[in-house]
Amino acid sequence: MKDADAVRDLGKMSEVLEDYSPIQVGTAGSHAGRAFTVVGRIQLRYRAGIWNEWYLLFDDGQAGWLGDASGQFMLTIPQPNGWTRWPAFAELRPGQNYLVGDARVTASDVREADCIGGQGELPFRVGAGWQARVADFRRERDFLTLDYSDGEAPLLYKGYAVTLPELKAQLLRDEEQIKTSAGKYRGRVESLLCPSCGSAIGYLPGMATNLVCPSCTARLDATTPQVQVLEQGERAERRNMSLPLGAVAKIGNGSYRVLGAMVRVDEEGSEWSEYLMFSPTGAFFWLVETNEGWSRAQVLDAWPVPAEPASLSVSLEGIAYRKLYDYEARVEHVVGAFDWRVARGDTVRVSEFERGTARLAAEWNTDELTWTRSTPVALDQLRAWFGTSAPKLAQAQPSASPDMFGKVGRCLLWLLGLNVVPLLFNFSGVFFLLLLGALALALPAMLAPGSD
C-alpha cells in the first residue's frame, strides 16, 4: 500500500541494494537556480533490471524526483493534471507518438515495477507488494512521466534529461566509496562460483545487477541477498572475443572496464560484437566491433526529432540524418555482467540513420525505446586505450575487403588491355616497357591472399 499523507522515515523497510550510483542521501545540487538536497530513495525492480528514484527537496519547499538508471539521470517535478483525456496504460507502446496535454511526445518506457527497497525520507510509506505502473515520454531533452500506480487517472511529472555536472552535484560518492559499499547487503565479493555449473565468475558487486556465466551461459540475478539462478544454461562454446572480460581501458583521466560482451546477428546472418564499458565516475557506453571496424556508441540524453523509428530522416541538434537500415537484431552469444537481464535469443528492432561517419540507432521492444549515437574508433586508438589488457587486440590487423586485391588486379589488367590495343598497330620497344611495368603492379595484387 502507499500512504501519501506526509514525509516519513522508512525505518525498518527493506534495505536498498548499494549499487554503482554516485548519488547518496545528502547529495546536494541546484537546478534552474534553485538548490536541492537528496533526502530519500526508492528502488524499483522491473523484469529486466532495477533503477533508483531519488527524492529531492528544494530550498523553496518544492519536491522533485531524480531518476537514476545506467548512468543516465532524469529530473522531474510533480505537476497538476487538469486533463480530461489521457492515453490508457494498456494502450501505450514504446516508439509511438502521443499527444499528452498540449505536447506531442514519444513513448520511451512502459513498465510495471515492484518497489524492492527504500531509504531516508519519502512523501509516502511503501509497503510490501506495492507496484508502480509508469510510462515515460521524450521530446529532445524534455522528459515526461505518467504514473498510473494509483488508478486509471495518472499522476503527471515533467522535467528534463540532466547530467550531474549540470546539476552542480556535490557530496557524491567517489570511486573508492562505490567499490567498498556496492552490493554490501549480500557481502563484498569480487568473484563467485556459478550455482549452475560451479565455474568462477568475476564481476564488480553492485555495479551490475545481472550476470551470465561465461562457461554455461546460466543467467543469474545479482540483486538478491543470495545470487540466484534465473535460467539454467548449457555448456557454451567459448568465443575468442577481441576484448576479454575485465580488460581495462585508460580513456582520458578515467578507467573503464569491460563488464559484459555479446554477439548479435541480423536476419541476413551478419554478426557483430558489443562490449559494455563501465566506470564508477562516468556513464556506460559500448564499443562495437563489426567487419567494417570499431565504433563507440553512447546512449543519448537528448533525442532526435522526430523520434519515431519509422521516420525516413531525423534531426539531432540541428543536424539531419538519413535512414539507412531497418532490421531485427538477435543476441547470439552473451557473457559477463550487465545492468539489465539479457539472454541468448533476445531480439530488438533496429533503425539506423547516417550523417557522414556518425550514426544514430533506435532500438526498441515491447518495453522500451533507446537512441544511441556512434562514431568510428581507430584500431590504434583502441590499442592505446587498452594497452596489454587486451592481447588479441594488439595482434589485430585493419579490416579489408576479402576481394580487394583481386579487384585491383583485374582493374590493372583492364587498363593494360586498353593500352595494348593501339600498341598492336604501333609496335615498338615501348610496348615491352609498358608490359613489364603493368605486370610488376598486377602480379603481386593477383597473387596476394583474397585474390581470385
SS (H, E, C) 84-106: CCCCCHHHCCCCCEEEECCEEEE
Q: Over the stretch 414-444, which tens digit does the pLDDT of each residue have?
A: 555 555 555 545 545 555 555 555 555 555 5
pLDDT exceeds 90 at position 99: no
Strands, E assignment, 172-281: 191-193, 200-202, 210-212, 219-221, 228-231, 248-251, 254-265, 271-279
Instruction: Tell me which of 41 and 11 has the higher pLDDT.
Output: 41
Copy the grid coordinates of residue 74: 532524469
pLDDT exceeds 50 at position 157: yes
pLDDT at 223: 53
pLDDT exceeds 70 at position 406: no
**Rounded distance, CA 2 to CA 353, Å?**
44
Instruction: Tell me which of 41 and 195 has the higher pLDDT.
Output: 41
Which residues, including other chains, have CB under 8 Å from residue 65's CB and lie 6 or more apart?
A: 53, 54, 55, 56, 75, 76, 157
User: What is the gyration radius of the CA atoms in the chain, in angstroms?
Assistant: 27
Query: Which pTM value belongs to this model?
Result: 0.74
pLDDT at 63: 96
Please say whether the beta carbons of 317 and 304 come within 8 A.
no
**Rounded distance, CA 304 to CA 281, Å?**
26
Report in angstroms the alpha-carbon separations of 293 from 112, 246, 248, 371, 379: 39, 22, 20, 21, 8
Which of the 8 DSSP states describes residue 236?
Answer: P
pLDDT at 46: 86
- Mean pLDDT to the nearest integer, 271-280: 90
Q: Long-range contacts for 416-423 (Cβ within 8 Å, ≥24 apart)?
A: 416/442
SS3 260: strand
pLDDT at 326: 95
Please say whether the beta carbons of 37 and 12 come within 8 A.
no
pLDDT at 426: 54
Which of 89-93, 139-143, 390-394 is predicted with the least confidence, judged by mean pLDDT? Answer: 390-394
Which band of pLDDT confidence, cut at 50, 70 and 90, is reported for residue 287?
Answer: very high
pLDDT at 445: 47
Q: Over the stretch 370-385, which tens digit does the pLDDT of each residue have?
A: 999 999 999 999 999 9
pLDDT exceeds 70 at position 55: yes
Which band of pLDDT confidence, cut at 50, 70 and 90, is reported for residue 269?
Answer: very high
Tell me: cis bond preceding 80? Omega within 30 of 0 counts: no
pLDDT at 418: 52
Half-sphere exposure of 195 (CA within 13 A, CB side): 12
Please say whether the beta carbons of 386 and 255 come within 8 A.
no
Which band of pLDDT confidence, cut at 50, 70 and 90, is reported for residue 75?
Answer: very high
Q: What percent of the chain stands above pLDDT 70?
A: 68
> ∠ CA 91-97-100 to the nearest 5 degrees?
80
- Mean pLDDT to the nearest integer, 339-364: 92
**Rounded distance, CA 322 to CA 313, Å?**
4
Which band of pLDDT confidence, cut at 50, 70 and 90, is reported for residue 361?
Answer: very high
pLDDT exceeds 80 at position 220: no
Instruction: Tell me which of 254 and 179 has the higher pLDDT.
Output: 254
pLDDT at 164: 93
Q: Which helix (H) or strand (E) holds 28?
A: strand 28-31
* Arithmetic mean of pLDDT over the chain: 78
Phi, psi values for residue 162, rounded to 5°:
-135, 170
Instruction: Tell me which of 242 and 102 has the higher pLDDT.
Output: 242
pLDDT at 410: 52
Most confident of 35-49, 159-173, 182-196, 335-349: 159-173
